[in-house]
Structure 1
Amino acid sequence: MNRPRLRHNRDFRLLWSGAACSVLGARITGFLWPVLVLWQGGTPAEAGAAGFLALLPHVLLPVPAGVLVDRWDRRRVLIGGDLVALAAVTSVAVAAVSGGPALAHVMVAAFAAGSAAVVYQLAERAAVRMIVRTEDLPAALSRNEARGRGAGLLGQPLGTALLPIAVWLPYAFAALVHLLSLGTLLRIGHGLRGSPGTGNFRAELAAGLHWLWRQRFLRVAIALIACTNVLFQIVNLALVVAVLGAGGAPLAVGLIGAGAGLGGICGALSAPWWLRRLPLSTLLIGCFTAWALLIPVLALVSGPVALGAVFSAVCFAAGVVNVSGGVYQARITPEHLQGRAGGVAGLLTSGASAGGSAAAGVLIGQFGVDTTVLWVGGAMAVLAVLALASPAIRAAGWAGDHTENTAPAGAAEPIESGGNRG
């Protein structure tokens, strides 16, 4: 099919705009589920349960959802995801108007909205390669990465600003943006059809896992990025503890988050420039090295401005890594394996982030903020050395130069480094 260049690609603009609305809605409500429980007088344990249920789909669903995304029309999957999210947030808004949603209602809605976000993300990323020319992938994926970071930057403060005005207001706003997303998806002209598959779910899943395991670079890169996601979760909590423990206000934490978000956006938007000039191996090893040098600096500076500036540079590199890995993966993943490859990568990286969150509090409580951050910097240096020592990483050019498979190219979920995803 003769696809138009990106600046004239109507379907990509519609897909990008719809996903921007859907991701913004997910960011607003994803942060607010535990806050809503506390706001209504719930206990911290109940709030934690709501937050856990909102994140649980990121562990349970990526792999099975990837199989289904490969089978079904991606546009229909996207529409279905928006409809589920719309129903979840609308039900909470209506319940809030009539006296407040019950705890069980909040938990079910949190799980449903989280599930919709996982499926939507897989389908949207699988759809990009179907409507974008191969040479336009760097620019398309850099815009997608910047969009996600921008939604994270706006979602949390917007949700916390609307909630005190009226409990129903942030959920009504989320419902509105999901409606806008639906409107754009219905205007996409391309069918975005998946492969009919074999009908054997287990065999299709095994085929996806087998293909991904054969890709030496992806196998090593996903493992390394999963390790960095553990470390980034520790750094995220360490920054919060450092600021609040020194008597800083929550606004100071928000300023650091804003700096990190802006750094990630700039990194994502600059990624095509880097991709035109450096091979993938140099970009990855360079970013790992930059993290190893920058993270220890966080233990040596104080104040939200200095911390925000350093962490912004860390997230700049994360934005470059996400787009670079995404472009490579998009170029080599066969069309019929898009969802499965993305689902497995998403499971490993999301699971690693969850593990980092669990470990962060224990480490900071045991060793303190500065020592923990220095240890994280040392661990990142080890990962940089491992990346440099890996033949698969060192040999990585671009999929157009040499690939590890001969199947037609398709899109998959990018390898995602943590940093500050909002």
Structure 2
Amino acid sequence: MSPVPDRTPARAPGPAPGGAPTRLLRNRGFTSLVTVQAVSVLGNQIMSIALPLLTLELTGSPAQAGIVAGLGAAPYVVFSLVAGALVDRWDHRTVLMVCNVLRAGVILWVPLAHAAGLLSVVQLYVVSLATGTAFVFFNIAELKALPLTVDTVQLQKASSVNAVTESTGGLIGPGVGGTLVGLGSTPLVGGVLALFVAAVSYAVSVLPLFALPRSPARTRTSVRRAGKEGEERAGGGGGSGIRGEIVEGLAFLWHHRAIRRIALVSAGLNLLFSPAYLAVMVLAGTDLHMSDAAIGLLFSLGGAAGILGGVLAPRLTRRLTHAKVIVGSLAAWAVVMPLLPWAMTPAMLVAGWMLVTLISPVYDVTQLSYRLSLISDELQGRVNSTFRFIAWGLRPLATGAGGLVTAALGPRATLGIAAGGMVLLALGAVLTSRRRPLLPANDGEAASGTAADTSCKDGCS
């Protein structure tokens, strides 16, 4: 693939000509986006607790729970590249609305099937796959909306707010999910009740979207034109230009050394963390005999630690380079991950999980704000979907394999393998960064807006 031609960003890489940009909390579009994210994250977190517990109650098999979780992640492998090209063409507000309406409708199928006495694990497969597909489009549209809603110089702060919102959902959602499961006359009834509440949250989240601005028509038009040009360069012959648009997104990421490296590191992290969530849940329930409500509290406390991490992230990047924060996050994970397989009491498991989730927003905010500042508006959907395709592509396999390993060898073995992999990943990142920096020398300028350029002149290979 040939390098992507330079394109003028659709937004200015700094404050508006009239002065300082609108404060985030006074930015109606941004507050609407955060509200939608908050309500949707609540639904995601309730589902993340309720669906595995419901599967375990229905089948008694960690392997089946792993398959259900893996099907939820599989759509990123199948649909992400096409979804990125389509989201760049479409209005992001409409995409967000349709996705959450679909998620609400599909999840409501579970309570209805249970009421009719027809609930089976196959239906949970379908629900996980369908909601995972909707999440792919929702997530890419959400990423596209952020730099269109705030000024470039505000991306790091906006990403930090998003991380805190995500962690707040992680604080509240699992506790709500575990409590709802516990409220049922049986865990099965409680799981169905929790999924009903998740469906309601997705339906309610549509309302704030009416205040979110639509995608600029000029951006969508330039995407279609660029797609046709890209398809011609790729040897295509006209048509819709979708293939050309996908090629352009792939080429931009692959030739941008910094974004490519972050994507590969993120792929390694997802390979290790995807099976860990289910393994922690099984360890808490079987080895440590924690109740459903206590398991929900465990993940809620992880969300509380994540809030602190989201607050710390911009402060760390003001004092250190983005590369140092990213490598430091990997090193910190390598130290705390081994605590999980050695947890012999609920308190030890809670402490280990909180330390793991404290680091997550630091890494996520740093890499997200950095890469968003480097991508022009008309490429946001395609490049971010390509990034997620690489970073999340192994999640279905890792989650399914993690369920099988947990069923065969136990949750401690799964967590031990993940911890060992994290040590190797961190060691590789540290040694590599000594020979060649992970990010360009001016990485501290990128997320602040002073180096937000799509030409790759300092970061491409």
Q: Give TM-score scaled by structure 1 length.
A: 0.83
Closer/same/farther in 2, CA of residues 50 and 395 from structure 1, 3 Å limit: closer
Q: How far does the alpha carbon of each residue in 1:36-82 deviate from its partner, in whole angstroms, 9 at most, with x for none?
A: 45555797776665444333223222211111111111011111111
Does 353-362 or 84-93 show the bigger shift? 353-362
**Is the 2:284–2:290 contact (alpha carbons within 8 Å) kept by the matching residues of 1?**
yes
Distance in 2 separating the partners of 1:169 and 1:244: 20
The reply on whether 1:405 has 2:454 as its aligned counterpart is yes
Which of these residues, 269, 278, 287, is aligned with residue 311 of structure 2? 269
Match of 1:365 in 2: 409
Distance in 2 separating the partners of 1:101 and 1:240: 23
Distance in 1 separating the partners of 2:162 and 2:317: 16
Structure 1 position 10, deviation (Å): 1.1
Match of 1:283 in 2: 325
Distance in 2 separating the partners of 1:50 and 1:243: 19
Which of these residues, 114, 117, 126, is aligned with residue 135 of structure 2? 117
Structure 1 position 223, deviation (Å): 0.9
Does 42-51 or 140-149 show the bigger shift? 42-51
**Residues matched between the structures, number:** 407
**What's the % identity of the aligned pairs?**
28
Structure 1 position 195, deviation (Å): 1.8
Q: How far does the alpha carbon of each residue in 1:339-391 deviate from its partner, in whole angstroms, 9 at most, with x for none?
A: 11111221222223334435545499399478646633531442332452352
Match of 1:228 in 2: 269
**Is the 1:255–1:304 contact (alpha carbons within 8 Å) kept by the matching residues of 2?**
no
Which of these residues, 157, 160, 166, is aligned with residue 139 of structure 1? 157
**Is the 2:334–2:419 contact (alpha carbons within 8 Å) kept by the matching residues of 1?**
no
* Map 1:32-181 → 2, pairs under 5 A: 32-36=50-54, 39=57, 49-101=67-119, 105-163=123-181, 164=184, 166=189, 169-181=193-205
Q: SS of the residue aligned with 2:22?
A: coil
**Unpaired segments ≥5 residues, structure 2:** 1-10, 229-239, 457-461
Closer/same/farther in 2, CA of residues 43 and 387 from structure 1, 3 Å limit: closer
Closer/same/farther in 2, CA of residues 237 and 25 from structure 1, 3 Å limit: closer
CA RMSD of aligned residues (A): 3.3
2:391 maps to amino acid: T
Distance in 1 separating the partners of 2:52 and 2:287: 25
Does 370-379 or 330-339 show the bigger shift? 370-379
Closer/same/farther in 2, CA of residues 171 and 292 from structure 1, 3 Å limit: closer
Q: How far does the alpha carbon of each residue in 1:198-254 deviate from its partner, in whole angstroms, 9 at most, with x for none?
A: 331111100100001111011112112221222334554665566566544246654
Distance in 2 separating the partners of 1:277 and 1:229: 27
Match of 1:375 in 2: 420
**Is the 1:88–1:110 contact (alpha carbons within 8 Å) kept by the matching residues of 2?**
no
2:247 maps to amino acid: A
Distance in 2 separating the partners of 1:101 and 1:95: 5
The reply on whether 1:292 has 2:337 as its aligned counterpart is no
Q: SS of the residue aligned with 1:333?
A: coil
**Is the 1:387–1:394 contact (alpha carbons within 8 Å) kept by the matching residues of 2?**
no
* Map 1:218-367 → 2, pairs under 5 A: 218-233=259-274, 235-236=276-277, 239=280, 246-250=287-291, 253-298=295-340, 302-360=344-402, 362=405, 365=409
Q: How far does the alpha carbon of each residue in 1:85-134 deviate from its partner, in whole angstroms, 9 at most, with x for none?
A: 12212333344444454655544333222211221111011101101112
Q: SS of the residue aligned with 1:261?
A: helix
Does 34-43 or 259-268 show the bigger shift? 34-43
1:365 maps to amino acid: L
Match of 2:233 in 1: none
Distance in 2 separating the partners of 1:126 and 1:210: 18
Q: Give TM-score scaled by structure 2 length.
A: 0.77
